[in-house]
Amino acid sequence: VRDLVVGQRWMMYSLFIGLTLGGAPVVWALLGKCDKKAVAGAVAGFIGMAALALAQQKGAAGAGADTGNFVMLFLAGAAGASAMILPGVSGGYLLLVLGQYVVILSAIDSLKIGLSERDMAAVLDVGLKVCLPVGVGVLAGIVGVSNLLQFLMKRYEKFVLGVLLGLLLGAVIGLWPFQEGVQPEVGDMFKGQIVTQESIADIDKEDYPTKFFKPTAGQSAGAVGIILAGFGITFLIARFGRGKDEE
């Protein structure tokens, strides 16, 4: 999956768009009659998600992803756990927006390699640097968000559901598929340091800054098809789950 996200970004991002938007009908059904509170929540959620996505894109375009930040990994864990509780919200999307999706997948691969080779030093390194902050974040997300959501839903149900709907719709901005990683050049500023001839070979493709590109007709058509497929998958899963609950 990590290699697909890095090497076939437009395909995977198109899939994530479809999977994310597929949750919108779920939230809409929960919302029922749309009123002013729901509209205000949707606008707030859309603006908030758009701002977060644009800020992440600006950072990725300028300096690459931050792969060693304890706070960001903690937030990624909390966001992923929250997505399991919030209806229609994609945990994978939130990790992408935070720039930690590939980081966590890479850590899992490193952990598996370390375990297979019985390299306890490598396992411990990955465990402390990535698994620990993500795990703490997951626990905080499950406990904190579940209690907060229960509190808010009792008092501001329409507004909260409107916010969730806005978050889903705003997700498209952060997942614009037609972007690609660009290798930094010697003399560029990358993560606060000047890229040198010696250091450029040590920069992983997953950390490359990104830029938008003009898609071909085939890529545009393919993206639409993948988005529709992802939408259908999420929609059918939600419908199947709802049918099970009714039984």
Q: Using one digit for the tens of pLDDT, what is the confidence trace for 49-68?
A: 888 777 766 655 554 444 44
Provide long-range contacts, Cβ within 8 A and 24+ apart, for 190-193: 190/63, 190/64, 191/63, 191/64, 191/66, 192/63
**Residues, the chain, total?**
247
Q: Is the whole-model pTM more than 0.85?
A: no
Domain range annotation of the chain: 2-246
What pLDDT does 47 receive?
A: 93
Q: What does pLDDT average to over the chain?
A: 81
Q: 38: helix, coil or strand?
A: helix
What would the two tokens of residue 81 be? 């756990």
